[in-house]
Amino acid sequence: MAISKSCCIGAKRIDFKNLLLKLGLNKPKRRIILKTLNDLVDGQTVKIGSYKQTLGASRRLMELGLMPGVRVRFIKSAPLGDPIAVDVEGRQLSLRREDAAQIYVQPE
Amino acid sequence: MALIGNPNTGKSTLFNCLTGLRQKVGNYSGVTVQKKTGITSLGGDNIEILDLPGTYSLAAESPDERVVVEALRGEIENVDRPDMALCILDATNLKRNLFLAYQIGQLGLPMVLALNYWDSAKKRRIDIDLAELRSRLGVPVVPISASRAEGIAELKEAIAETLVSQPLLRTPDWPDSVIEALDEMRAVLPSESLEQLDEVALLRSLFEGDEERLLRSGASETQVAEALNSGKKVLFKGGLNPANVEAVLLYRHIKTIIDSSIKHDALSQTRGSESIDSLLTHKWWGLLAFLGLMYLVFQSVYSWAGPFMDLIDGGKSALQGAVSSWLERWPIINSLVTDGIVEGVGAVVIFLPQILILFFFISLLEDTGYMARAAFLMDKLFSWCGLSGKSFVPLLSSYACAIPGVMATRTIQDSKARLVTILVAPFMSCSARLPVYVLMIGAFIEPRYGAGVAGATLFVMHFVGLLVAMPFAYVMNKYVLKTPPQPFLLELPSYQIPKVKDVFIKMYSQGKEFVVNAGTVIFAITIVIWALLYFPRPESVMDETRASFAASLAAERAITETAALQAIEESEELQVELENRVSSAYIEQSLMGRMGKTVQPVFSAAGFDWKVTVGIIASFPAREVIISTLGIIYSLGGDVDEEAGDLRETMANQTWPSGSRAGTPIFTIPVVIGIMVFFALCQQCGATLAIIAQETSWKWAVLSFVLMTSLAWGVSIVVYQVGNWF
């Protein structure tokens, strides 16, 4: 019983993904290329790319030096998983993951 | 002169350096932004320094920034436009710090730049060409080290010179598209509003997309929208994104300056802070260290302050005793002085040990840079309901007392998070609630259910407030304080060794401000409460009480009333009892007692009788007052404490005198829990209201009072009604 149940759910999930792919809503390849500041591992260094349109307060982040093209090192996340700490030109800044997910980064 | 700079640039150290103890702390009216002014002497002249809140930019998005902009432009009532700006920069991070300097430069104020942390810049082998920097910027640049008080004399010289020669920061040459955009805006806006708007105002409106400033100049909404739109279009054509044009252009400009004046040895950058952080923000060790530190802070406020508070209390009682025997012949004046004035002063001073000890730790935590780490560690727990990681310390301190707790919210930069923290702080179970819990649990829970349940109840009571506070914060944040969300940004500054002088100046100024502002209100409340409990006071009450006491004694002992009166005269014990009965009779017919009886129907749904109601009303200025008030009402005298056996016994024996519940005990378990929940949730602390008003405005103090009190009332009724089903 248990096996068939999980099969069912698994099958449904695949269908759902395929459906999204067919509709062109889900583009796995793009998602791999466009990483955000939220997707990094400890110690990884990247360059700030652009900001997602949804982040209304991008100006504030830029004023603090998170300008496109600036090198940023992901230091770590807080013990509870959020927020994260990054190194921006020798300064440590902390921001919440929801904000970090609005900032695209490029590998160095 | 205005002092301004980024956060964590050593601004307050410099301010303390310049002014010493000649400081005044207050609030800008209507906003939760602290106003600090001080006086420094400059070759015989005294100069007033306005210490503006630390800010990263003048974008006027938060109240802090708005205050800075308005203060620099001279738009705040009772605050003169400064003659010059002293801008403090972190020499090890000039790039970002110059950003703010340039924004201030646009406002057209003469300026001196102080490069702080000059010593550590040298240590890091950051080679700054001061002459080049001065010529590129066009204003005096003075290297200082505020923590060692180095370069202060040179800085003062430069300030004196600046006041005479009025040098302005050389503003960057904006690209053509910005100039064009401004022209477009001028073309659209009506001439009368252009008269009020200088180039800077237009530029800032364009950069910030700020409609408000343009609307205030008298332009119509459509004109403003059109002006901003056409300006933005021009920027867009010039290849600039209107959303971040200022940051891009200024940083581009700053880069050319930095490149020409700074040689920076990148490899020598210290990672010292990060290695400390590998422990202090470590997944396990970090949390452990945090809990340990917080335990220390809590213990210090909760326990270490105790002896000092006892000392103050003892001093107060001694003074009351002395004054009372001296003024014995004038009962009204005697009571006013002892129970009103001395009590009121005592009620203010009693908070000082906790405030001073807490601010000792807070300034240590802040000045070392640990406070930012604490916020980093705790943010997740608080962010969902609109609080911030920095709410932890204020809320924890509120478990000892909400007064220092509310004052401690000053460490929260985000003013919305600060306001929400202030509003929930009084929910934390402060030490003044403990006596009420101990009395109720000791009198009713423990005898019936045993020590285990009693302990558990006490434990649970300490979390009732917290459990209510979190959703309360969520609702306040989401539905009442509708300001657009700001991204949470926290700088984790390099660890520093704190300066003893800064720590003590902070303790002194906070203590002084408390006594001067909140203290006066607390004192006034105490006097008012005294009057409500004292008046009216007809002589007849004394005789009536004596007569009825004699009558009951006569009946009890089967003697004549005259003999009973004789017995009362002779027995010291009966004298005391008579006195207690007289006090009880006085309180019953005082204004406060009458209020209690009038208000009692409101509490009858929660099962409170008029005596409990009077106790509750009398304890609105301070919760712990209920114990002594109940003592007086039950004719046991005002000196009872929560451990007193006779008070517990008397309460347990109280029955309803009449009505449908006649003869049944008043203090049933639902009533007892209802009373405790009421005290847990109610805003029964005049001092807290005074401090909320001091830190925000009376509007929020009144709101806090109304919300908390009605919440407490509603929940205690629910507790009683639901409890009665079982």
Handedness of CA B345, B351, B353, B357 (dihedral sign): negative
Question: What is the pLDDT averaged over residues B139-147?
Answer: 92
Indicate if A98 and A57 belong to the same structural domain. yes
To test the contact with chain A by mutation, choose from B492, B495, B496 the residue with the greatest count of A C-beta atoms within 10 A, namely B492
Q: Which segment, B57-71, B80-94, B625-639, is predicted with the most confidence on average? A: B80-94
Does B269 contact chain A (CB < 8 Å)?
yes
Q: What is the pLDDT of residues B304-334, one digit of tens each?
A: 888 898 899 899 889 988 988 888 888 888 8
To test the contact with chain A by mutation, choose from B380, B381, B496 the residue with the greatest count of A C-beta atoms within 10 A, namely B380
Question: What is the pLDDT averaged over residues B511-526?
Answer: 82
Percent of chain B clearing pLDDT 90 (strictly above) = 16
The chain-wide mean pLDDT, for chain B, equals 85
Q: What is the pLDDT of residues A75-92, one digit of tens each?
A: 989 998 889 999 988 888
pLDDT at A6 over 70: no
C-beta atoms surrounding B600 within 10 Å: 18
pLDDT of residue A14: 53
Burial of B449 (0-12, 13-18, 19+ CB in 10 A): middle
Does this complex have an ipTM over 0.85?
no
pLDDT at B199 over 70: yes
pLDDT of residue B651: 85
pLDDT of residue B87: 94
pLDDT at B266 over 70: no
pLDDT of residue A27: 53
pLDDT of residue A19: 60
Indicate if A47 and A98 belong to the same structural domain. yes
Question: What is the pLDDT averaged over residues B466-471?
Answer: 90
Residues of chain A contacting B, Cβ within 8 Å:
51, 55-65, 67, 75-76, 78-83, 85, 87, 89-96, 99
B308: nearest Cα among B244, B375, B355: B355
Indicate if A9 and A60 belong to the same structural domain. no
For residue B178, give Cα distances in angstroms to B174, B183, B626: 6, 9, 67
Q: Report the alpha-carbon distance of residue B334 to residue B671 in Å, rounded.
A: 37
pLDDT of residue B597: 83
pTM of this structure? 0.81
Going by pLDDT thresholds of 50, 70 and 90, the confidence category of residue A7 is: very low
Does B210 contact chain A (CB < 8 Å)?
no
Host domain of residue A64 = 35-107
pLDDT at A10 over 50: no
pLDDT of residue A4: 43
B477: nearest Cα among B428, B402, B423, B411: B423
pLDDT at B450 over 60: yes
Residues of A in contact with B277 (CB under 8 A): 75, 85, 92
The DSSP call for residue B368 is H
Q: How far is B375 from chain A (nearest CA, A)?
A: 10
pLDDT of residue A11: 45
Residues 6+ apart with CB under 8 A from A83: A77, A94, A95, A96, A97, A100, B376, B379, B380, B488, B490
Task: Count chain A–chain B contacts defined by CB atoms under 8 A.
Answer: 113
Question: What is the pLDDT averaged over residues B56-64?
Answer: 76
Q: Where are the extended beta strands (E) located within B453-518? A: 489-492
Whether domain B2-165 has CATH 3.40.470.10: no
pLDDT at B570 over 60: yes
Q: What is the pLDDT of residues B477-498, one digit of tens each?
A: 888 876 666 677 888 888 888 8
Indicate if A69 and A85 belong to the same structural domain. yes
In a 13 Å sphere around the CA of B196, the CA atoms on its Cβ side amount to 11
| Strand B126-128 relative to strand B141-143, pairing | unpaired
pLDDT at B270 over 60: no
pLDDT of residue B677: 93
Does B604 contact chain A (CB < 8 Å)?
no
Q: How far is B243 from chain A (nearest CA, A)?
A: 7
The DSSP call for residue B708 is H
Q: What is the pLDDT of residues A32-61, one digit of tens each?
A: 567 888 888 888 889 888 887 665 567 778
Q: Of B580 and B85, which is predicted with more confidence?
A: B85
Going by pLDDT thresholds of 50, 70 and 90, the confidence category of residue A9 is: very low
Percent of chain B clearing pLDDT 70 (strictly above) = 97
Name the domain count of chain A. Answer: 2
Going by pLDDT thresholds of 50, 70 and 90, the confidence category of residue B504 is: very high
Residues 6+ apart with CB under 8 A from B379: A78, A80, A82, A83, A94, A96, B388, B389, B488, B490
Single-letter amino acid, residue A41:
V
Residues 6+ apart with CB under 8 A from B480: none
pLDDT at A70 over 50: yes
**Extents of the domains making up chain B:** 2-165, 538-589
Task: Look up the CATH number of the domain holding residue A72.
Answer: 2.30.30.90
Q: Report the alpha-carbon distance of residue B35 to residue B478 in Å, rounded.
A: 28
pLDDT of residue B542: 78
Residue B257 CA, distance from chain mean position: 42
In a 13 Å sphere around the CA of B342, the CA atoms on its Cβ side amount to 20
| Token pair recorded at residue B30 | 């209507």
Backbone φ/ψ region at B627: left (φ over 0), alpha (ψ -120 to 50), beta:
alpha
The reply to whether residue B487 touches residue A95, judged by beta carbons under 8 angstroms, is yes
Residues of B in contact with A96 (CB under 8 A): 379, 383, 487-488
Single-letter amino acid, residue B81:
R
Phi, psi of B388 (to 5 degrees): -125, 170
Does B97 contact chain A (CB < 8 Å)?
no
| Token pair recorded at residue B345 | 């002063």
Q: Of B26 and B80, which is predicted with more confidence?
A: B80
The separation between the first and the last C-alpha atoms of chain B, rounded to the nearest angstrom, is: 69
Residue indicated by tokens 């010291």: B572
pLDDT at B562 over 70: yes
Question: What is the pLDDT averaged over residues A16-20?
Answer: 59
Q: Report the alpha-carbon distance of residue B59 to residue B353 in Å, rounded.
A: 40
The reply to whether residue A61 touches residue B59, judged by beta carbons under 8 angstroms, is no
